[in-house]
Structure 1
Amino acid sequence: MSQGTKPASQARSRATRDKLVAALERLLRTRAFDSLTMAELATEAGLAVGTVYRRFENKDAFIPVIFELYRARLDAYMAAEGRIELDPGQGLRAALRQIMGSAWGFLREHGHLLQAAHLYARLRPDLVGDDWQAYIDASLASARQVIDLFADEVRMGDPETAAQMLAYLLNTLPLERGLYPEDGAGALIRLSDDQFVAAMADTIYGYLVTGPDSDENPNP
């Protein structure tokens, strides 16, 4: 049971929870989680405020729900349109653009969930849960597959380092613009989505094909 959630009869509890989860997601598409109130969640769900409090002790009890929603969306995406078949004949640069286009599409669709998850993973790690390591491992495994598939183009000396950096860059480059397009570094970008995807992919491509620094490899 999620932290802060009060027990209730199963059928009524599930119906109430489903209404609140749907209401929460609708509100998150236009509002930051920290600006929401329990009264607004109740109104959006068509429930009395007291009913909400009988199901959730306070607003923080909704934080695990955000992570549940995000994981569910990510799992569904990776099982369907997020499953990318890469052709070695297409070349590394084209493959990176395909991967980054898929990642950017997911972020654009579900950024309202990721924004809250990204923030509260740091502010309230006690409410996040401990099953994120599987996602980290899967991301790294996918990066290793890309490095192996295009090994003839990758010039970084250590494939494991290249895979770690590839996984890191794929998961961080889109964040600023995707989550905070009007604030900070994200506000600097004035590219179309297609241009942005291509630029991110080409940035990673440049890293992978440049090769190690001459000081690390004095005998090329």
Structure 2
Amino acid sequence: MPSISTHARVPKQGRSRQSFERIIEATIELLRERAYDQITLAEICQRSGVSTGSLYGRVDGKDELLRVVQVRYLERLGEQFTAESTRIAAEARGLEQMVPAVVSGFGNLLRDNASVLRSFMLRGSVDAAIGAAGKKSALENNAKLNKLLLSCRDEIRHPDPERAVETGMLLIYATQARFLGLDSIGRLDEAGSWNQLLGDLSDMMLAFLLFVPKR
């Protein structure tokens, strides 16, 4: 993950650093409320209590600010995934408990962060830096969950446990992301409740891992 200094002129003095942090936090707050293209730098400055001149002293514009915000946000998201992985590892016993715990834990983290992630993912299609950082973060977080499932390797009947877990989790992610509107198509939540989706995905994943292909 790139550092904030990759995209901004990070201040060294305490008061200036605090002002820059307020800009980052204000941007995150606004992204929870509205999409990236509906937010202006003027709103960010008003929310943070920092002047426009000070903001431009740190970043060259709105796109660069979003890259800064993404770095900070994905760092925190990674910490959340680590904490959730630790909790699941301590509480889940066996594949039948591990699969729903992973599917729900993963999905609920996506749901809780969906409003902000949506702007990153949509912007990432036209901004190479945001796209690359988002992909790297997703791979790192997915690896934590895959590791949990593979801790029950002895119970997995599929002849290639690594491939089965990776393929299954990719499909689960795609379905959850589609449901939450983390793509350019839109939300799918009219198809049923979130908890029903998590239950169905858990059942399908468990069945896949326990399936022995004939080929």
TM-score when normalising by structure 1: 0.79
Unaligned ranges ≥5, structure 1: none
Instruction: Tell me what 2:93 maps to.
Output: 87
Cα distance change on mapping 1:138 and 1:127 into 2, 3 Å: closer
3-state SS, counterpart of residue 174 of structure 1: helix
Identity within the alignment, %: 21
1:156 has 2:158 as partner: yes
Instruction: Tell me what 1:136 maps to.
Output: 139
Cα distance change on mapping 1:33 and 1:14 into 2, 3 Å: same
Q: Runs in 1 of length 4+ with deviation above 6 angstroms?
A: none
The 1-side partners of 2:72 and 2:18 are apart by 16
Residue pairs, 1:119-198, within 5 angstroms? 119-127=122-130, 133=136, 136=139, 139-140=142-143, 142-152=145-155, 154-180=156-182, 184=186, 186-191=188-193, 193-198=194-199
The 2-side partners of 1:129 and 1:137 are apart by 12
1:24 has 2:10 as partner: no
Instruction: Tell me what 2:208 maps to.
Output: 207
Cα distance change on mapping 1:129 and 1:10 into 2, 3 Å: farther
Which 10-residue stretch deviates more, 102-111 or 27-36? 102-111
Contact 1:69–1:113, Cα closer than 8 Å, also in 2: no
Unaligned ranges ≥5, structure 2: none
Q: Is the radius of gyration larger for structure 1 or structure 2?
A: 1
Which 10-residue stretch deviates more, 19-28 or 46-55? 46-55
Instruction: Report how many residues are paired.
Output: 207
More helix by share: 2
1:61 is displaced (CA, Å) by 0.9
The 2-side partners of 1:127 and 1:180 are apart by 15
Which 10-residue stretch deviates more, 125-134 or 156-165? 125-134
1:163 is displaced (CA, Å) by 2.6
Instruction: Tell me what 1:71 maps to.
Output: 74
Contact 1:64–1:128, Cα closer than 8 Å, also in 2: no
1:112 has 2:112 as partner: no
Q: CA RMSD in A?
A: 2.8
The 2-side partners of 1:9 and 1:133 are apart by 28
1:204 is displaced (CA, Å) by 1.7
